[in-house]
Every structure is written in C-alpha cells, then in structure tokens.
Amino acid sequence: MPEISLLAAFLTGLLGGAHCVGMCGGIVTAMSFQRGGRQPFAFHIGYSAGRVLSYTVAGALAGLVGSAAFLSQHLWPLQQGLYVLAQGVLILLGLYLAGLDRTVLVLERAGGALWRRMQPLFGRLLPVRDARHALAAGVLWGWLPCGLVYSVLVMALASGAAASGALLLLAFGAGTLPNLLLMGWAAERLQRLTRRVWVRRGAGLLVAAMGVWGLARMLL
C-alpha cells in the first residue's frame, strides 16, 4: 500500500472534520448528555473505537472484493478501470477538501437504505449504560451514510487486497478522531486551523495532486 494513499486517507478524515461534525456532531452530543449528565470519556473512546472498527472492516471487505480483479491477467482492463476510478475519486476528494467541489457527497445517498435498517438497532442501544454498549453503538454508527467514507472505500476497492483496504479506512478513521473524539477545547482550535482557507486549499490541492500524479504514472 503506497504511503501516499494512506496520507491522503488520513488528510481526508482530518480536513473533512466540518463535514463529520455536521453529520455526526448531533449523535455525539445526544450520547454525551444522556440521563441529564455528561458521560465518562471512556464511553467516547468506545464510540470512536467501534466506528473506526466498522470503517476498517468495510475497507477490508472492499479490498477483498477488489482483489478478485487482481487475481487474473484476463481482468487487466478492470484493474486499470478501478485504478483510474480511485485516482479520479482522490482528485474529487481533494477538490472537496479545498472547498472547490462537492461531488463526492452525492455518494451519501447510496447508503441510505442500509442505514434505515440499522437505525432501529442503534436506537435500542440508547441510553448507553456501559463501555460495551458504547462500543456496540460505535460499530453501528460507523455505517452511517457518508460521502467521504464511500469515497475512501472506492480507493480501498482499487487497492487490490483486504489488508490494504483495511489500512486505508483505518487511516481515514484515525484522521476523524480529533474532531469527533475531543469535541472540546482542542477540537475547536483544530477546527479553526483547518477551516482557514489557505490550510484547506493547500491540503486539499495536495490530495488532488496525489490523484493527478497517480493518473500521470499510468502514462509514463
């Protein structure tokens, strides 16, 4: 797995913080103040651990499915197509992070049906009573429809291996932790930094450049 792809996945999770907080901040707040009081920080560790675990499993499954295309030389056109698709998604992710394009968010619609099936299960776990329930709630939370997650899953699909796909989503999940795990003093300051235009534009264009470089390598 090229380190550059892992960096792109991590930056997507980190700089996509505003999107993550917008989608998941309400869930975090609702779970944080159940029964009229703030929950132990250990519960938040459980939520995030379960969520990142779901991302990692989804990445492994995507990589496993994609690996079928890499087991036979007869599927070379499909391999090439997956690679081009992954680089294209990487470019779109970079443009989104830079605040220049929102196309990747269209992918969120694809997971709506799955989440509607899982939402009742999520509701049964509330209020969260202990660390085990927190972990289980986090696992279900990880399947909430998210265009950024689905975009990284496309990259995992093209990675050609379950381990590579799992690492990509693990890197993405790690990038989301500062915004969703802290949700306080440090997160506020991190968000102020990542919302600065020059930071978002620079990092986003760096991610997009990774995709352009990936496409250029095919022609070299």
Q: Per-residue confidence at 47, pLDDT binned at 50, 70, 90? A: confident
Report the mean per-residue pLDDT for the chain.
76
Does pLDDT of 32 surpass 50? yes
Does pLDDT of 52 surpass 70? yes
> Which range scores top for mean pLDDT: 16-30, 99-113, 165-179, 187-201?
165-179
Does pLDDT of 140 surpass 70? yes
The pLDDT value given to residue 184: 46
The pLDDT value given to residue 112: 65
Q: Per-residue confidence at 76, pLDDT binned at 50, 70, 90? A: low
What distances in angstroms separate CA 35 from CA 7, 17, 27, 32, 129, one per listed residue? 39, 27, 15, 9, 10
The pLDDT value given to residue 53: 96
Contact 4, 207 (CB under 8 A): no
The two three-digit tokens of residue 199, written as one number: 């930071």
The pLDDT value given to residue 57: 96
Could you count the other beta carbons within 10 Å of the beta carbon of residue 132? Answer: 11
Q: Per-residue confidence at 209, pLDDT binned at 50, 70, 90? A: confident
Does pLDDT of 60 surpass 60? yes
The two three-digit tokens of residue 111, written as one number: 């997971």
